[in-house]
Structure 1
Amino acid sequence: MKENTKTTSSRFQFFVRWNSNSLVIHASRKDTVESLLKKLSSKTKIPIKELRLIYKGKQLQVEQNLGECGIENDETLQLLGYLRSTQCPQLWGATEFIASLILKLCRGENANDPFKFIQSHFRSYMKKSEYFDVFMFMKIPSLLVELYMSPNASNKSVADLLIKEFVQICLDLKCKEVQVFYLEALLQFCELLREVGCKCDDLLYVFCRNGFATLLANVGGVTAFRNYSKWRVLFHGIFFCVCETLEVLLSYLDLSMSYPTSEGLSCSVVWAFVKFSTPLRNGIAEKQPAFGEYENGICYEEDPSIAGVVDQFRNVFIQLLTKMDECFQVMENCLVNKEQREGGGDVIHNGQSHYLLILKELYHISKLYSGAEVMFWGVLLRRKSVLSQLIVRFADKKDNHRWVLENMCVTDFESRRHLAMTLFPDLRHELLGYEMLIGRSDVLAESFEYISRAKPTSLEGGLFMAFKNEVATGPGVLREWFVLVCKEIFNPKNALFVACPNDQRRFFPNAASKVHPLHLKYFSFSGRMIALALKSKVQVGIYFDRVFFKQLAGNYITLEDIRDADPIMYRSCKQILEMNADYIDSDELGLTFSIEVEELGHRKVIELCPGGESLVVGSKNREKYVDLLIQNRFVTSISRQVSHFAAGFTDIISGSRLEFFRYLELEDLDWMLHGSENAISVEDWKAHTKYNGYKENDRRITWFWEIVGRMSAEQKKVLLFFWTSVKHLPVEGFRGLGSRLFICKSSKSDNHLPSSHTCFYELCFPKYSSRAIMQDRLRIITQEHMSCSFGTL
């Protein structure tokens, strides 16, 4: 009897789903839908006129009773709300219908092409600023995720496509203000998918997370939503993504230490971390006080809600820096053991190509915390050799490596040179090149005409030149031309540059160069020539003085910088600064803030500052006097010359001229422009030489190296120049030439002199019948005046 009572009783229970919660309702079958809505209104605090009940995909009418609606015991109804007072009733109605349609699919009921219908709905309404609130109010994200978790493969596929479509439309929206609101929706998709068990190996979850990161970048990061009411939710959501991607990144780094990983894997893993770390650190940086007087440089009191994130983000920095240190330690061990391993692969592989990107991000994070910069640079200083090899192997012009400029001591010459050289444009193969025919007797003037009138784009290709009345062409002749032209540019007789009294090898612009009417154009030409020589990796045998180098780098000139350029002024200034205060205040020196200079045969007074002629130098203003004196002598007086040189240099590079010189130390530029100062090593020479027609143990080869070994240093340089058109070896020695040298057998008789193919670094000589004959022939070609024009290519 109880069973009959249960089935026929007018009292029963059912569930009403609302905002991802289920309400248990006890009611009579005679109760009306309207009475039920009143109960629900009191629970939800939403006016009854704005509520709707959905059962089996149909909206229940208020005048019906529950029995007439066919509601069974323990059934589930969906409660939806929509605002009749809104100005967009159509939008609310359409979104309600979409929610009902998704619920219908979740129950396993069929629908006609739901993807196309809902896709059309998204495309029609998402661009409206009001849609976001409706979308979130109707719990569309949770409904779509529920559909995605459906055991029905078709439903899962529809949900997958719809969520991806929603993300893509968010990214394509033109209005950034609207995109800011949709950040919350994309974050919610990520959180809902995580709640149902989707992790980093789920493609839809990764797609949503990447979409969240991209949308974050599109709107300008955390800065864009700092006035948004739910910015703290988004802020913590970003941090969760940082931690999640960090976990994957640390695992990848462990893997990269064990065996080579693919470059594609490293790219995706690292960028996933950086996409979230970058906006988070930018957001934290905005909370820093002006003077960093708070703990760790962060003002917790300003906004306590981010304090936890700030602390934990510092732990992220420490974890990742520690892991990078471990990676570098493994690489160092491999480098040490490399010579002992037979048949081993590269110590540095493509999977490590994004190590530099990780270091760059760590550099930026280190700026947020007290002591973090010391930790960061300390690791890189310990791992200098590995860092330098990574830079040489992977740093390219696609990324910005200016962060290295802050602490150049963590790099070596090869890595600094590499960074500077990335600022030159790549050779454009489609260009035919720029052709020149130049006479040796007037090499400076004719080269000036060719290079000065060329458009910068014409010089981006190869340079092709020949000397008049000579058949030789090719790279060897080009190298010789660079050396000859630069020798003339810096010849003091041409009045463009002057040599330092304390070091005659070093030059800086001549303030009196205006004696030549075209002097500024010649400085532009000089800038182009030096840049072209650097680009072509030709050592031209020139040194810049420190005052010139620092001006090209945009740095300030100090007293110590002028030591070589003007030793007399240097000593005088030192004496003034060290002089007894009473003595200098007595005006015994008779100094004022003015100087007398000679210009074109006339003497004139120049004031170092307004009213300087009447301003006496004393103990309180002598530092200023010395500084103004130096700036006038080495900056103001040659500013136009330096400016035109810099402009000519900039014509050739694709990056910043200032950045180029700031990547380098003065010694680096010395090595790049002049080459090695070391005596030529015959053993190194032999180690980088191969033979064609001869064998290494041939007696003529033995004679040759014995003769070379007894040559003077100058003779060796002349022989090298004759052989290769290289007068100054790179700092790395013969290894830096980039190619082996060759000794080839000539079929000519032994009364012929050796010849050379400088393009291919080939020296050719006959099968000399005696050591004495060979020595005599080599003596002839190693005379300075005989060393040119023997090359046949």
Structure 2
Amino acid sequence: MSTAFTCHRRPSKRRRDPPDHALPSSKQPLMALPDPGAASSSASAAALGGDGASSSAAADAASSSPPASARPVHFFVRATDSKTIAMHAAPDDTIGAVLDHLAACGYGRDLRLVYAGRQLASDSTLAALRLPPDSTLHLLARLRSTLHPHAWQLASHIAATASAAETEAATAATSACSLDELVKEFILCAHRANLGRLRSDRGAQAEPLPTADLASEYLDIFLQSSAAVALVRLYLSKSSFFRSYADRAIRCFLATDPSSLPPDVLQVTAPVLLEFCRLLSVAAGKKDLLYQGCRCSLASVLCSQPLLPPSMESPTRLIDQVLPFAYETVEVVLDGLASVSMMVSPVDLEEFSNFFKVLCKQARLWIGNDGPMPKNLYDRESEHGDTWIWRLQTMSMDILKRVDECLKRLEMDLPLSSESIGVMESQTIWATRSHILTVLTQLDSISAIYEDVAHKLQLVLLAHKAPLNALVRCSKRNEHLYWLAKHKNLLCFEARRNLVFMMLPEGKDDFGELHEMLIDRSHLLDESFEYITQAKNSELRGGLFMEFKNEEATGPGVLREWFCLVCQALFSPKQVLFSPCPEDKRRFYLNETSAVDPLHLKYFTFAGRIIGLALMHKVQVGVMLDRTLFLHLAGRSITLEDIAVADPVKYASCKKILEMDAAEIDGLYLTFSRGDHQLGSQKVIDLCPGGQDISVNFQNREQYIDLLIKNTFVDSISDQLDNFTKGFSDILVNPLRRKEFFEFLDPEDLDQLLGGSNNTINVQDWRSHTQYNGYKDKDRQIIWFWKVVERMPIEQQRQLLFFWTSVKYLPADGFSGLSSKLYIYKTSDSTDRLPSSQTCFYRLCLPPYASFRAMETQLQKITQEHVSCSFGTW
């Protein structure tokens, strides 16, 4: 039956007759029986606003009251916020019906009604209880079964305060003002509880405690108390006053307000944020700013936290919950890419990326290590019960299709010749389109789950190599582009170069923060060694500032000169650290006899740092690393073909063994060992345990050669390699990414980055990149100058270029790869003076010589190596 029922909230000392309100009631009244072990004490009831009635009073009331009749029952409910609610119900209404009504009004779930110190059974009718007229019942949260009674009390108070503000605007204004403070207090309580547990765990006498995170338990109580529902209901209020306070209270849980969210609480807010998203998306709409803030924070929290609350640990459950909100961000990205500008805001892009990272991670957990799933497992028509599988796949294919369209449009902006990418396109414009790479990054992640997405992504990248290269070349620093190493064959050298430079530090602009060095040229290597090896990694990554003693010159030009001079000394055969390859004297491998120097291992660390710093500062030092050293840095194995340049004799011998027949090999009397000469002594090294007793034959010859190469180029110099590798890794932004650094490169790429171009200098290219100050292109001195340069041999041209710019070996792209144009300045100096230079600014200061012969003589003087290496000024 349905009866009249109303409730009205008011201060506890005033009473008035409440109006009627319909409520379904029970037809079969039952006697009220106490819940065993569940009763709250009268002291607890009094603490929450009870009247302290005893249990015996309740029994007396039940025995003396007349039988229930049809007349309405009047009673009062004392809420947790010390407010009293006047109730008017039918006799056959149950306690459960009363609690349901109170929950619908925002007072929370899992509530209990207590009278005279005893909890009232939910299936008891009001008639069966025979309450005295105008009795006061106490509304309590579940205190009997929780370890956190204070959390329940505070969460219920938040819910009650929000509900009161919704229904009694005139009297609840003051309470609503404190809603955000109440929420912050709740969050702080959760944080303090965690700190308390941490201190207990650290105590010597502490007993083992449950492993569940207390902050997570507190936030679960927040949800169970219906505080979130009450706050959202208040947010939907027509009153802008109450709406603003609800907004502030809800935003306490957003990651944008770190002052109210300690890190330990922030990492477990996902269930609360998810609840707010569910409620707001329906009630407030997708365009609501608070809803969008909650959704963005949900994506951020789920993405950044390695552990998930217990309620969200199942991959399928989490994806089902998150996918609808992720799809909203996908729609935003799709709309942005379809626009004329193809732009997506950074905020929308970050939210999209965060959601996709979460979905990919959970989907991988679901499929395990099985790799990409065949299409028949996630086809829409398949019998698989997890619908998120094909929904996520469909979403990914939609994005990939839109990216394909964008790349087609971008291809129209490129020059006709794809080989000239970068010469004509605007660096700034292409850099603003780098968000397309971010979208591609997420598609690459999802391609590890779906077979057809992986195949389609490969086809799209292959079909649009030109715009892909332009995007990568112009992209700013982005640590998430490592996946492109899988598609290295699609990238040009300039694109790969940009990717590896992203893994090197940018350096600092403030000279005061640079690692300063003052070097004596006469002790160049020793003093440089001390400055570099004693510096912390962080100091070197900030950049270098150096000057030579008793010289005024400073700046980038001097630093470039120092790099070249140090590498020239460090890789000199006199140092016995590196050996030049017999057929290429600019290429070096590690010398296994380096132990003659007791500091050789520290010098290898120094050498690794110098190579890393040279790459960081984009200085071509004229030194190249042998393929065997490159492969070790890259974490790859070394084969016979890889030693051809470093040791052509051993290479030829091994090739000959592979070509011999069985009898010829037996006649060599080889064993699995090799001779080693160090420090004037000779010893035999086994290539495997007992190698001197194992003969090399036709069947095991390949194994012998593999072990010989490994022992010679890895095992025998393992300490040197480890120290060189460590020194190089010290310079990387993330030393653990060393192998990824080399995955983007071929040995030839590193040659160009480190050694520069070894080709003949193109004088016409040199001239086209030179400008004049005081001279004109047709002046006779300029005509003479270039004629002298054309007549110089290549080494003299390099010395002139080094004198002018501190650059001896040009970048792979020639003079266009330099950071600036070159300049020739006309000076008023006497024609008896030699030219001078300002290497930092690429300036050659040239007196107006009177004849071609005079200019040639003076230029010949400055191209002497001992002059060009020490004549520059700032």
**When the two structures are superposed, what TM-score results if normalisation uses the length of structure 1?**
0.81
**Distance of 2:104 and 2:401 partners within structure 1:** 57
**Distance of 1:534 and 1:130 partners within structure 2:** 51
Aligned to 1:614: 693
CA deviation string 1:427-460 (max 9, x = no partner): 35323643334245x6445544554555656654
Aligned to 2:283: 196
1:208 matches 2:294: yes
Aligned to 2:546: 464
**Distance of 2:233 and 2:252 partners within structure 1:** 17
Deviation, 1:543, is 1.4
Bigger shift: residues 428-437 or 535-544: 428-437
Amino acid at match of 2:702: E
**Distance of 2:337 and 2:649 partners within structure 1:** 57
CA separation of 1:394 and 1:560: change in aligned 2, threshold 3 A: same
Contact 1:103 1:143 in 2 (8 A): yes
SS at structure 2 position matched to 1:436: strand
Deviation, 1:631, is 0.7
Aligned to 1:30: 71
Amino acid at match of 1:791: G
Equivalent residues in 2 for 1:572-587, closer than 5 Å: 572-577=653-658, 579-580=660-661, 583=663, 587=666
**Distance of 1:484 and 1:683 partners within structure 2:** 28
Equivalent residues in 2 for 1:365-384, closer than 5 Å: 365-384=446-465
Deviation, 1:635, is 0.5
Aligned to 2:755: 674
1:114 matches 2:172: no
1:253 matches 2:337: yes
1:272 matches 2:356: no
**Distance of 1:699 and 1:534 partners within structure 2:** 40
SS at structure 2 position matched to 1:430: helix
**Distance of 1:32 and 1:737 partners within structure 2:** 92
Deviation, 1:748, is 3.1
Equivalent residues in 2 for 1:353-752, closer than 5 Å: 353-396=434-477, 399-422=479-502, 423-424=504-505, 426-427=507-508, 429-431=511-513, 433-439=515-521, 443-445=524-526, 447-448=528-529, 451-452=532-533, 459=540, 460-466=542-548, 474-577=555-658, 579-580=660-661, 583=663, 587-656=666-735, 657-752=738-833
CA deviation string 1:577-615 (max 9, x = no partner): 4555x658x844433222223333333221111122222
Deviation, 1:214, is 3.6
Equivalent residues in 2 for 1:32-71, closer than 5 Å: 32=73, 41=94, 62=126
Deviation, 1:693, is 1.0
**Distance of 1:55 and 1:275 partners within structure 2:** 35
CA separation of 1:178 and 1:663: change in aligned 2, threshold 3 A: closer
Amino acid at match of 1:417: R
Amino acid at match of 1:160: D
**Distance of 1:618 and 1:290 partners within structure 2:** 42
CA separation of 1:633 and 1:57: change in aligned 2, threshold 3 A: closer
Contact 1:243 1:316 in 2 (8 A): yes
Amino acid at match of 1:537: K
SS at structure 2 position matched to 1:604: strand
**Aligned match of 1:330 in 409, 417, 428?**
409
SS at structure 2 position matched to 1:570: helix
**Aligned match of 2:246 in 159, 164, 171?**
159
Contact 2:628 2:713 in 1 (8 A): yes
CA separation of 1:133 and 1:729: change in aligned 2, threshold 3 A: closer
Bigger shift: residues 419-428 or 733-742: 419-428
**Distance of 2:152 and 2:91 partners within structure 1:** 21
Deviation, 1:287, is 1.3
Amino acid at match of 2:71: K
**Distance of 1:571 and 1:119 partners within structure 2:** 80
Bigger shift: residues 370-379 or 119-128: 119-128
CA separation of 1:359 and 1:449: change in aligned 2, threshold 3 A: same
**Distance of 1:690 and 1:726 partners within structure 2:** 17
Aligned to 1:348: 429
**Distance of 1:254 and 1:790 partners within structure 2:** 58
SS at structure 2 position matched to 1:270: helix
**Distance of 1:404 and 1:521 partners within structure 2:** 35
**Distance of 1:573 and 1:315 partners within structure 2:** 55
Deviation, 1:738, is 0.7
SS at structure 2 position matched to 1:678: coil
SS at structure 1 position matched to 2:367: coil
Contact 2:371 2:449 in 1 (8 A): no
Amino acid at match of 1:754: P
Identity %: 38
Contact 2:835 2:846 in 1 (8 A): yes
CA separation of 1:250 and 1:573: change in aligned 2, threshold 3 A: same
Amino acid at match of 1:115: A
Equivalent residues in 2 for 1:127-146, closer than 5 Å: 127=190, 136=223, 139-146=226-233
SS at structure 1 position matched to 2:513: coil
Amino acid at match of 1:213: A
Deviation, 1:466, is 2.3
CA separation of 1:630 and 1:191: change in aligned 2, threshold 3 A: same
CA deviation string 1:243-301 (max 9, x = no partner): 1100011112233xx2385xxx622011111222111111111111444596359799x
CA deviation string 1:602-638 (max 9, x = no partner): 3322111112222233455433322211110100112
Contact 1:213 1:275 in 2 (8 A): yes
Contact 1:147 1:156 in 2 (8 A): yes
**Distance of 2:411 and 2:642 partners within structure 1:** 37
Bigger shift: residues 209-218 or 273-282: 209-218
CA separation of 1:154 and 1:518: change in aligned 2, threshold 3 A: closer
**Distance of 2:154 and 2:809 partners within structure 1:** 79
Aligned to 1:73: none
SS at structure 2 position matched to 1:334: coil
CA deviation string 1:60-117 (max 9, x = no partner): 994799xx999xxxxxxxxx99668656888777766765654554446533323245
Deviation, 1:204, is 1.0
Contact 2:421 2:466 in 1 (8 A): no
The runs of 5 or more residues in structure 1 that have no matched partner are 1-9, 71-79
Contact 2:106 2:229 in 1 (8 A): no
Deviation, 1:225, is 4.3
Q: In the comparison of the two structures, how many residue pairs are matched?
A: 750
Contact 1:539 1:674 in 2 (8 A): yes
Deviation, 1:238, is 0.6
Contact 2:441 2:480 in 1 (8 A): no
Deviation, 1:523, is 2.4
**Distance of 1:448 and 1:336 partners within structure 2:** 48
CA separation of 1:686 and 1:368: change in aligned 2, threshold 3 A: same
Bigger shift: residues 127-136 or 647-656: 127-136
Amino acid at match of 2:240: A
CA separation of 1:249 and 1:175: change in aligned 2, threshold 3 A: closer
Aligned to 2:327: 243
Equivalent residues in 2 for 1:298-309, closer than 5 Å: 307-309=386-388
SS at structure 1 position matched to 2:511: coil
Structure of greater relative contact order (alpha carbons < 8 Å, 6+ residues apart) = 1
CA deviation string 1:288-334 (max 9, x = no partner): 1444596359799xx98873212121222222223223323333322
The runs of 5 or more residues in structure 2 that have no matched partner are 9-21, 28-68, 76-87, 108-112, 116-125, 191-213
